[in-house]
Amino acid sequence: MHGNLPTPDSRGAPRRLRRKWHLMLLSAFIAVAGAGACATGHSHKGGHEQQLVVHLTNDLAPPADVTVYAVTSDGIRHLLGDVPPNDHRVLRIPHDVSTATATFHLVADRTLGRRVVSQPVNSTSGDLIIDWDLQSNSMWFPEIAQ
């Protein structure tokens, strides 16, 4: 039992509190994943590669399942994953998309409906997290707490 601690599933929790809670979890996940990658002893060209991730909130109205892709400027689609209605997921951008192409788009294909296409994402900007809200088709690039 958590007592009076707010959780992201609390009915009365404000959206801002849920988003902050999710970003804290995502930051912890990235820190643990990064520590695990460093522990393997593999080295990449030029040092440590960092993973670009998308925190996607599927709040479409009417609710619909979506399949999410990263689409390069030459039209190659890379499957990122599925997100059920009224849910959220953390999806990883493949290294060949984030390092080989200067820009790409995120595309959410609805089961029965119009697809949502993001603004162009510049993979060379150094951002590690993309926060994408489908209902408003808005993107943020939050800072990771160090």
Q: Give the number of C-alpha atoms closer than 13 A to the C-alpha of residue 95, restricted to the C-beta side.
A: 6
Q: Note the pLDDT of residue 15.
A: 60
DSSP state of 145: P
Tens of pLDDT, residue by residue over 98-129, are 766 678 999 999 987 889 999 998 876 666 88
CATH numeric code, 15-140: 2.60.40
The answer to whether the beta carbons of residues 70 and 109 sit under 8 Å apart is no
Distances (CA, A) of 24 to 11, 70, 89, 91: 19, 24, 14, 16
Domain ranges (residues) in the chain: 15-140
Q: What is the pLDDT, as a whole number, of residue 131?
A: 94
Task: Give the pLDDT of residue 146.
Answer: 56
The predicted model scores a pTM of 0.65
In this predicted structure, which of 24-28, 38-42, 91-95, 141-145 has the lowest mean pLDDT?
38-42
